[in-house]
């Protein structure tokens, strides 16, 4: 029983951050139709930036976000303007290929700068634990959960009740009509992509404490994010957060209950099972 | 107010509109007629900046606007109510109206403007929180016009507002158009429906395969044999 609670708690905590990662991808897909296969490598980039800042200034990852979030947001804007935008409107596969190429560039760039050895970035909360009955929770996971949910709620409120948020939804629902309202559709697309990458910088800092990182990990995060986004129905806000929790829990169960490769496969098995029965993902209500 | 000067425009460098010359005076209601595929929507989209001109000029209040972005034109008050209405289906009526007034010029006056729109369309006011996708075609057309008015239009361009509506709603929408005209709004009314438009517009242009075939007041256009042939595609 203890193990069950432990797995549930751990999965829920980490799943909230997966949900947040996927919200960024879903937003970008919603306004530009772009699926970014270098998503996970941008998370890597964020994590290695934190590592560099720690090595140079002994900066805690939670503090580094002051630098990494604006920097990655700017990088996101530039990548969209100079690389992705020229491809949008062409073949969907060309955009896919471009972002896959970008993934390799990022991965190898990080490899060149930091080498291939797994590295750790310490944080002051890294080894702190909270014990609830028999369940042991790591403080970084709790921080990640709380911040991820707060951000998700913040994003939701932004989408619902600000002009920028309504512009994003308008472009998603009908880009032509949005332009006729006087919305600069191109600008909304750039800002949304930049926002998505900025969120990744934050998520990177949340996932980092106590986790060894290596340059090749990006693909794993991309795949997890894709699972969550598809599970959540691509652009459904609530569905995506729920998808994040489900994949997080599946992953925790897999590593706690099952040995080796089968355990790591559990999220994918659950994913396939859900998609077999609910081909449209968890989209019973449309939050957008 | 608006002057179109030898406009050539189309898609991918291929002209659809050839040598269009037209004028709309302030306070006027002008009809733009033509059969399906004549180029009416292309012309209205050229005025909105959604279709880029190949050559020619568009003057609005004496200024050449042909190189301005769609946003800049909306801010000037050139506002389109598109064919097929194109309301944002997953948003409420209120959000659709707010989006109508999102341009930098109109944004400040949205609360007052919304009161006016609700005054004009009480039916929208009664269901502000209902999603636009759940409205009937006629209600969606009201919303699309209301959304256009939120932008503080100086020139309101309506693309086939009667399309797909029941006769009762068509009559209602045209009463609203007359009312807006009586209040001094300048209107470009794009329609396929010949007789209906001739009854409401002061002057008309008839497009045929991307060119102006007939122009003049309603009576002239009605009696010109080329009007009929433009419609029959002869
Ligand atoms: N987006 C587009 N791309 C290419 N051709 C188009 C496009 N929209 C319209 N056309 C062509 O332009 C011509 C005029 O169409 P349109 O302006 O929609 O006519 P109308 O509104 O009078 O029915 C048609 O031959 C149509 O096929
Ligand atoms: Mg048309």
Task: Give me the CATH number covering residue B6.
Answer: 3.40.50.300
Domains and CATH numbers, chain A: 2-287 (1.10.3470)
For the residues of A101-121, what is the DSSP string, one character each? Answer: HHHHHHHHHHHHHH-SS-B--
pLDDT of B234 reads 52
How far, in Å, is the centroid of ligand 2 from the Cα of B39?
7
pLDDT tens digits, residue range A97-119? 999 999 999 999 999 998 888 88
- A235 CA: distance to closest CA in chain B (Å): 12
Closest CA to B115 of B144, B141, B80, B150: B150
The alpha carbon of residue B215 is apart from the nearest alpha carbon of chain A, in Å, by: 28
Write the CA distances from A242 to A36, A131, A183, A230, A284, integer angstroms.
Answer: 21, 25, 31, 12, 12
CB pair distance less than 8 Å for B99 and A178: yes
Q: Which residues place a Cβ less than 5 A from the ion ligand 2?
A: B 40-41, 83
Question: A183 and B90: CB-CB below 8 Å?
Answer: no
Question: Do residue B88 and residue A163 have CB atoms under 8 angstroms apart?
Answer: no
Ligand 1 pocket mutation, candidates B37, B190, B230, criterion most atoms within 8 A of CB: B37
B50-71 burial, b if ≥16 CB within 10 A, otherwise e?
bbebbebebebeeeebbebebb
Q: Give backbone dihedrals phi and psi of A236, rounded to 5 degrees, phi first.
A: -95, 115
- Would you say the CB of residue B34 lies under 6 angstroms from ligand 1? yes
- Does the Cβ of B36 fall within 6 Å of ligand 1? yes
List all residues 6 or more positions away from A264 whose beta carbon is below 8 Å from its beta carbon: A254, A255
Say if residues A68 and A51 touch (Cβ distance below 8 Å): no
pLDDT tens figures, A63-94: 999 999 999 999 999 999 999 998 877 778 88
Pairing of strands B186-191, B29-34: parallel
Instruction: Give the per-residue pLDDT at B107.
Output: 92
CA of residue B192 relative to chain centroid, distance: 13
Question: What spacing in Å lies between the alpha carbon of B41 and ligand 1's midpoint?
Answer: 7
Angle at A66 between CA A64 and CA A70, to 5 degrees: 115
Cα radius of gyration (chain B) = 17
ipTM for the whole complex: 0.93
Q: Which residue carries 């107010």 as its tokens?
A: B1
Residue B31's SS3 state is strand
Query: Across the interface, do B102 and A288 touch by the CB < 8 Å criterion?
Result: no
DSSP states along A32-63: H----TTHHHHHHHHHHHHHHHHHHH---HHH
* pLDDT score at A96: 87
CA pair distance B55, B47, nearest whole angstrom:
13
Measured at the alpha carbon of residue B211, what is the angle toward residues B205 and B216, in degrees to the nearest 5?
20
Report the pLDDT value the prediction gives residue B233, as an integer from 0 to 100.
60
Q: Considering only CA atoms, which of B214, B215, B216, B212 is closest in space to residue B226?
A: B214
- Furthest C-alpha separation in chain A: 59
* The token pair that represents A89 in the structure block: 């409107």
Q: Round to whole Å and give the CA distance between A268 and B221.
A: 68
Cβ neighbours of A18 (radius 10 Å): 29
CB neighbours of A248 closer than 8 A, spacing ≥ 6? A11, A12, A13, A14, A15, A16, A17, A18, A19
Helix axes A39-57, A185-207, angle to 10 degrees: 60
| pLDDT value of residue A235 | 76
What is the Å distance from ligand 2's center to B34 Cα?
9
Which residue segment(s) compose the domain that B144 sits in?
2-232
pTM of the model: 0.90
Whose CA is closest to B191, among B183, B201, B181, B182?
B201
Report the pLDDT value the prediction gives residue A6, as an integer from 0 to 100: 86
Average pLDDT over residues A259-271: 77
Q: Do the Cβ atoms of A181 and B99 come within 8 Å?
A: yes
Write the secondary structure of B157-210 as one string of H (helix), E (strand) and C (coil). EEECCCCCCCHHHHHHHHHHHHHHHHCCCEEEEEECCHHHHHHHCCEEEEEECC
- Pocket of ligand 1 contains residue B10 by CB under 6 Å: no
* pLDDT reported for residue B96: 97
Q: How many domains does chain B have?
A: 1
- pLDDT of residue A287 exceeding 90, the answer is no
Share of chain A above pLDDT 70, in %: 97
Does residue A247 contact residue A270 with C-beta atoms inside 8 Å? Answer: yes
* Chain A residue with the nearest C-alpha to that of B133: A173
Task: Tell me which residue has its CA closest to atom 6 in ligand 1.
Answer: B11
Q: What is the pLDDT of residues A144-154, one digit of tens each?
A: 999 999 999 99
Residue numbers of chain B with a pLDDT score lower than 70 = 232-234
Q: Which atom of ligand 1 is nearest to the CA of B42?
A: 17
Give the rounded distance of the alpha carbon of B24 from its chain centre: 13
Please state, in angstroms and rounded to a whole number, the distance separating the CA atoms of residues B118 and B124: 6
Helix or strand or coil: residue A176? helix
Q: How confident is the model at residue A288 (pLDDT cuts 50, 70, 90)?
A: very low
């Amino acid at each position: 029983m203890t193990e069950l609670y432990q797995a549930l708690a751990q999965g829920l905590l980490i799943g909230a951050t997966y949900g947040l990662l996927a919200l960024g991808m879903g937003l970008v897909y919603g306004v530009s139709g772009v699926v970014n296969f270098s998503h996970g490598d941008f998370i890597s980039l964020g994590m290695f930036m934190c590592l560099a800042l720690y090595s140079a200034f002994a900066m805690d990852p939670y503090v580094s976000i002051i630098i990494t979030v604006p920097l990655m947001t700017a990088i996101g804007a530039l990548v969209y303007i100079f690389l992705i935008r020229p491809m949008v409107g062409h073949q969907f596969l060309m955009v896919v290929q471009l972002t896959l190429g970008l993934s390799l560039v990022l991965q190898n760039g990080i490899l060149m700068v930091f080498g291939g050895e797994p590295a750790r970035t310490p944080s002051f909360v890294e080894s702190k634990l909270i014990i609830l009955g028999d369940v042991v929770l790591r403080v970084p996971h709790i921080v990640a959960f709380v911040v991820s949910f707060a951000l998700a709620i913040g994003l939701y409120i932004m989408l619902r009740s600000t002009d920028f948020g309504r512009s994003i939804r308008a472009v998603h629902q009908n880009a032509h009509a949005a332009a006729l309202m006087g919305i600069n559709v191109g600008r909304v697309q750039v800002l949304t992509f930049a926002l998505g990458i900025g969120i990744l910088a934050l998520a990177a800092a949340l996932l980092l404490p106590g986790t060894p990182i290596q340059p090749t990990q990006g693909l794993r995060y991309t795949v997890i994010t894709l699972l969550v986004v598809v599970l959540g129905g691509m652009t459904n806000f609530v569905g995506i957060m729920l998808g994040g929790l489900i994949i997080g829990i599946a992953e925790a169960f897999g590593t706690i209950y099952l040995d080796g490769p089968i355990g790591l496969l559990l999220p994918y098995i659950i994913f396939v099972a859900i998609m077999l029965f609910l081909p449209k993902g968890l989209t019973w209500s449309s939050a957008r | 107010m608006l002057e179109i000067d030898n406009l050539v425009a189309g898609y991918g460098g291929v002209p659809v509109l050839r040598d269009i010359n037209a004028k709309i005076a302030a306070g006027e209601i002008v009809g733009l007629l033509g059969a399906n595929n004549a180029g009416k929507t292309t012309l209205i989209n050229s005025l909105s900046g959604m279709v880029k001109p190949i050559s020619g000029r568009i003057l609005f209040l004496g200024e050449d606007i042909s190189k301005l972005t769609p946003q800049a034109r909306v801010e000037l008050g050139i506002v389109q109510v598109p064919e097929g209405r194109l309301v944002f289906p997953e948003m409420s009526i209120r959000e659709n109206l707010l989006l109508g007034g999102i341009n930098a010029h109109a944004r400040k006056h949205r609360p007052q403007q919304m009161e006016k729109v609700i005054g004009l369309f009480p039916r929208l006011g009664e269901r502000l929180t209902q999603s636009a996708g759940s409205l009937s075609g006629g209600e969606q057309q009201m919303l699309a016009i209301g959304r256009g008015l939120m932008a503080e239009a100086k020139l309101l361009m309506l693309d086939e507002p009667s399309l797909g509506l029941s006769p009762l709603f068509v009559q209602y929408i045209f009463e609203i158009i007359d009312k807006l005209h009586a209040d001094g709004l300048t209107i470009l009314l794009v329609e396929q429906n010949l007789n209906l438009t001739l009854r409401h517009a002061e002057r008309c242009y008839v497009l045929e395969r991307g060119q102006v075939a007939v122009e003049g007041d309603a009576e002239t256009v009605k009696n010109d044999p080329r009007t009929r042939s433009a419609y029959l595609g002869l």
